[in-house]
Amino acid sequence: MDATTNDLTVLERDLMARLDAANDEASLEALRVEALGKQGSISALMRNLGTMSPDERKTYGAALNVLKDKLTETILTKKAGIAEAELDRQLQSEAVDVTLPPVKPRLGTIHPVSQVMEELAQIFGEMGFALEEGPDIETDFNNFTALNFPPKHPARETHDTFFMNARDEKGERKVLRTHTSPVQVRTMLKQKPPIRMICMGRTFRKDSDATHTPMFHQIEGLVIDETSTMADLKSVLIAAIKAYFEVDDVRLRFRPHHFPFTEPSAEVDVGCDRSGGQIKIGTGEDWLEILGCGMVHPNVLKQCGLDPEKYQGYAFGMGIDRLAMLKYGMPDLRDFFAADTRWLKHYGFSPYLLPGLAQGVG
Q: Which stretch binds ligand DAH (CB under 6 A): 30-38, 166-174, 206-214, 311-319?
A: 311-319
Binding to ligand DAH in span 69-128, by CB under 6 A = none
Is residue 292 near ligand DAH by the rule CB under 6 A?
yes
Is residue 313 near ligand DAH by the rule CB under 6 A?
no
Smallest distance from ligand DAH to CB 127, Å: 16
Residue number with CB closer to ligand DAH (140 or 220): 220
CA atoms of 114 and 344, how far apart (whole Å): 12
Judged by CB under 6 A, the residue of 220, 245, 322, 325 near ligand DAH is 220
Number of residues in contact with ligand DAH under rule CB under 6 A: 11
Smallest distance from ligand DAH to CB 326, Å: 17
Is residue 228 near ligand DAH by the rule CB under 6 A?
no
Judged by CB under 6 A, the residue of 181, 187, 213, 228 near ligand DAH is 181
Backbone angles phi, psi at 298, to 5 degrees: -55, -35
Is residue 204 near ligand DAH by the rule CB under 6 A?
no
Smallest distance from ligand DAH to CB 179, Å: 3
Is residue 315 near ligand DAH by the rule CB under 6 A?
yes
Is residue 347 near ligand DAH by the rule CB under 6 A?
no
Is residue 129 near ligand DAH by the rule CB under 6 A?
no
Handedness of CA 291, 182, 332, 120 (dihedral sign): positive
Q: Are 201 and 232 in contact (CB under 8 A)?
A: no
Is residue 293 near ligand DAH by the rule CB under 6 A?
yes
Give the list of residues 6+ apart from residue 197 with CB closer than 8 angstroms, or none.
129, 130, 131, 132, 183, 184, 187, 221, 222
Residue number with CB closer to ligand DAH (22 or 113): 113
Is residue 317 near ligand DAH by the rule CB under 6 A?
yes
Residue number with CB closer to ligand DAH (198 or 281): 198
Judged by CB under 6 A, the residue of 144, 149, 216, 259 near ligand DAH is 259
CA atoms of 287 and 241, how far apart (whole Å): 14
Q: Which stretch binds ligand DAH (CB under 6 A): 116-124, 193-201, 234-242, 289-297?
A: 289-297
**Binding-site ranges for ligand DAH (CB under 6 A):** 179, 181, 220, 259, 262, 292-294, 315-317
